[in-house]
Amino acid sequence: MTAATLPAWQKRRSALNHDWLKNRFIPALAKWLNLLDDEVEDPDFELAFLRTVLPQWAERRADIRALLDDFEWQMSPVNLLPEESDDWLIGLVHALWLQRRPVRCWVDEAGGRFADVNRAYQELLDQLRLEEPHEASAWLRPLRPAFARFCECCQRLARCLEVFPSEIRIP
């Protein structure tokens, strides 16, 4: 038995992981790495990257953290029970779900990846602060390893978020 419509959590994940992280943020980071490697020229993007692209992580990370925190209860099969269900039944169904599916492992794993991204982001910011306040990519080439590390962490987080089920199922 599954829910007839897409759960709200799945919609949030779709907006965050597919629409933003995978389709926009990671391609922009990957393009930036190619720009640092002198494979790509894009003066507009070069000017905009540090000001508008990179800070998107700081703007969105709270949403991603909330997505992880909400998963256990929003995707629990208790959401399929009638509203008037007894507390013992709700507790039993949820416990069975936790027992049969590695729900908390998924969340912990994704939480670890999320923390990795935050750490890589902070390291990147620390290194950027040491640099002169300019935006020319040539001057930022020494920071390429830090940008690459941040990009890899984002890629791992995106893959990790994909592992979560997209439907609510009775265990």
Partner 1 sequence: MSLPPLLPRLLIVDDLFGRSLHDRRNEERASLCGQYLLEDVTGDQVQRGPQQRIKNPIAQAVFHRGQRPLRARVGDLVENDLEEVLRVIRSGWTEPAAGQTCWSLVLLDLCFHTGSVTDASNRETAGMPEGQEADEQPQHYFGLQILRAIQQTMPDLPVILLSSHARDEVSQVFSRYGALGFLAREAAESPELLRDFLHRHGLIPDAAGLIVGQARPLLIALRAARRIARARGNVLIRGERGCGKELLARYLHQHSNATGGGRPFVTVNAGALSKELYGSTLFGHQRGAFTGAVADRVGVIAQASGGNLFLDEIGSLPPEIQAGLLRVLEYGEVAPVGAEQVQKVDTRFLSATNDDLDLQAAHGAFRSDLLDRLRLGGTLVLPPLRDRLADLPALVERFVREAEARTPGALIRRIDPDALDVLASYHWPGNVRELAICIANTVCEYPDVEHLVPVHLRLPAPVKGNRPPAVLVGAGSAAPVDQAQGLAELLARIQAFSFEGQRREHLIGKLPELQAALAGLLRRCLHAALELTARVGSSGDGPLRLEVLIHPALKLLTGDPRLSAATAADLIKRIMRLAPDDPDVLPADPLLREAYDNAQRLRPRKPRTRKTASETDG
Q: Can you give the binding site for partner 1, defined by CB under 8 A?
A: 5-6, 10-11, 14-15, 17-19, 21-24, 26-28, 30-32, 34-35, 38-45, 151-152, 154-155, 158-159, 162, 166
66's tokens: 């909330």
CA distance 62 to 37: 31
CA distance 161 to 25: 15
Residue among 55, 41, 59, 44 at smallest CA distance from 124: 55
CA distance 76 to 70: 10
For residues 136 and 46, is the Cβ–Cβ distance under 8 A?
yes
Residue among 113, 110, 137, 159 at smallest CA distance from 54: 137
The type of residue at 75 is M
- What string of H, E and C letters represents the secondary structure of 99-148? HHCCHHHHHHHHHHHHHHHHHHHHHHHHHHHHCCCCCCHHHHHHHHHHHH
Quickly tell me which residue has 């389709």 as its tokens.
23
